[in-house]
Amino acid sequence: MTTADDAAAPGSRGPFTAAEETAMRAALDAARLGVRGANPVVGAALLGADGTLLHVGHHRGAGTEHAEVDALRQAHEAGTPLHGTTMVVTLEPCRHTGRTGPCAEAILAAGIPRVVYAVADGTETAGGGGAFLAEHGVSVAHGLLEREARELNDRWFLAQRRRRPFVSLKIAQSLDGRVAAADGTSQWITGAPARAEGHALRTRVDAILMGGGTLRLDDPALTARAEDGTPLARQPFRAVMSTRPVPDDARVRRGVAPDAPDDGLFVHLPTHDPHEALAELRSRGVGHVLVEGGPTVSAAFLAEDLVDELWLYQAPVLLGEGAAAVAPLGIGTLADARRWRSDPVGLPGGVPAVGSVGEDCRWHLAPAAPPVIEPPAVPDHHLI
Ligand SMILES: NC(=O)C1=CN([C@@H]2O[C@H](COP(=O)(O)OP(=O)(O)OC[C@H]3O[C@@H](n4cnc5c(N)ncnc54)[C@H](OP(=O)(O)O)[C@@H]3O)[C@@H](O)[C@H]2O)C=CC1
Ligand SMILES: Nc1c(N[C@@H]2O[C@H](COP(=O)(O)O)[C@@H](O)[C@H]2O)[nH]c(=O)[nH]c1=O
Ligand SMILES: [Zn+2]
């Protein structure tokens, strides 16, 4: 089947050697060690002219070096000669300068004569590296293990096509699926190790979002903090989705410096429409949003299929009464239930999707039905 992707992608669709396929499998395994969010997970393997797997790199999340650069750095440190090598990468090498430099130029500068990638980047900003390399005389082929590579980042590709941030939802619930006791108290359902994971996630995202209900009941600061309460170095935007005014003395306005007037990270989103909320955050450069409830806002994002990954922590606590984790979604019968699957990509270093964190249980999930694999939107630089 020919897709818009094929029409836009440079180079051939193969044939590929057995060594290239082995290298791509190693690159896919390496990609799974990364974290997904504003950026996809990506792996890159350097293959010697004789088919030997030389170095395998991966991307460790937005702001860190890209997979190809990781592999090239390893080669440099080991003194590996690069003539005759092939760069095998799970995503088309980027050609833009974002938080890091363009991989396509790094590959060209390294004198690598062949590049094999699985799936086109497809974003307006970073796509086009394959064409750039082909124009500069590099042998470029794409489509090797494309389905596997696409599955690894399926919801990330979907978010890109829809021009919205990647959305994570975090829920900390009791054994009986409640996120607060009858009187609204919810601090703390889960234990310290699970909360520490939550703060590590907060520091990786660009914005944390809560609803007006949580603001009014809990007055949270929405900052990323270490276990002893000290602020972590990287702080995200703090967004409140509420049509009512946010009080001047709300902690979410202040962030990590309670006495400072305004750190520029507080955002009031006076809407009940999650699409509108995401569009506003994207206009501020947000690529990854963490929704931290409560149940009304969680349901609003879930109802619109806007949750790309779910971090669900379940504590061995029974409440019997209190708010359910998610407000009604209009599901009347089991056949209409929303099913989720383990997300193979998660915490840095490939921590398992389902596991224990202290006394609690962690589930890292993605919607079970992968999005319909449409061809990626043709990037603007391919439009006439
Ligand atoms: N354990 C956990 O993981 C968490 C638990 N909680 C608990 O949840 C409880 C609060 O739940 P809840 O009241 O549902 O809080 P929410 O945080 O979901 O806020 C709901 C409010 O947000 C506004 N809002 C934004 N979008 C929508 C929408 N699409 N539809 C309707 N209203 C919208 C409305 O405020 P407005 O009228 O101002 O527009 C609404 O009253 C608290 O007890 C809190 O402790 C909260 C977060 C995490
Ligand atoms: N992670 C990754 C790529 N990711 C691409 O680069 C974009 C982000 O770049 P930056 O702003 O520098 O973080 C991201 O949106 C995606 O299009 N590309 C690659 O060549 N290799 C990588 O390992
Ligand atoms: Zn890159």
Nearest partner of 96 among 66, 72, 56, judged by Cα: 66
Of the ranges 196-200, 305-309, 368-372, which one carries the lowest mean pLDDT score?
A: 368-372
Specify whether domain 164-367 bears CATH 3.40.50.1820. no
What percentage of the chain exceeds 90 in pLDDT? 80
**Is 105 designated active site?**
no
pLDDT, mean over the chain: 91
At 8 the pLDDT is 54
Work out the angle at residue 59's Cα, subtended by the Cα atoms of residues 51 and 31, and round it to the nearest 5 degrees: 60
* Reported pTM: 0.92
Atom of ligand 1 nearest to the CA of 179: 1
Whether 295 has a binding-site annotation, put simply, is yes
Instruction: Give the span between the Cα atoms of 282 and 274, in whole angstroms.
Output: 12
CATH 3.40.430.10 intervals, the chain: 164-367
> Which distant-in-sequence residues (6+ apart) come within 8 Å of 218 by Cβ?
186, 187
pLDDT at 361 over 60: yes
At 96 the pLDDT is 87
At 14 the pLDDT is 78
Report how far apart the first and last C-alpha atoms of the chain are (Å, whole number).
24
Distance 79 CA to ligand 3 centre (A): 22
Residue scoring higher pLDDT (241 or 233): 241
Of the ranges 42-56, 206-220, 249-263, 292-306, which one carries the lowest mean pLDDT score?
A: 249-263
At 2 the pLDDT is 38
At 251 the pLDDT is 94
Compute CA 189 distance to the chain's CA centroid, rounded to the nearest angstrom: 26
> CB of 159 closer than 6 A to ligand 2?
no
Mutate to test the pocket of ligand 1, among 210, 214, 313 (most ligand atoms within 8 A of CB): 214
CA atoms within 13 A of residue 344's CA, in its CB half-sphere: 14
What CATH homologous superfamily does 16-160 map to?
Answer: Cytidine Deaminase, domain 2 (3.40.140.10)
- Cα distances from 266 to residues 192, 241, 252, 296, in angstroms, run 26, 11, 7, 21
pLDDT at 374 over 60: no
- Give the residue, by CA position, lying nearest to ligand 2 atom 20: 93
Which residues lie with the beta carbon below 6 Å from any ligand 1 atom?
171-172, 179-180, 184, 186, 189, 210-214, 217-218, 241-244, 272, 292-297, 300, 323
Atom of ligand 2 nearest to the CA of 63: 13
DSSP 248: T
> CB of 153 closer than 6 A to ligand 2?
no
For residue range 343-360, list pLDDT tens digits in order: 978 777 778 889 999 999
- Give the residue, by CA position, lying nearest to ligand 1 atom 45: 186
pLDDT at 40 over 80: yes
Catalytic residue among 20, 21, 65, 68: 68
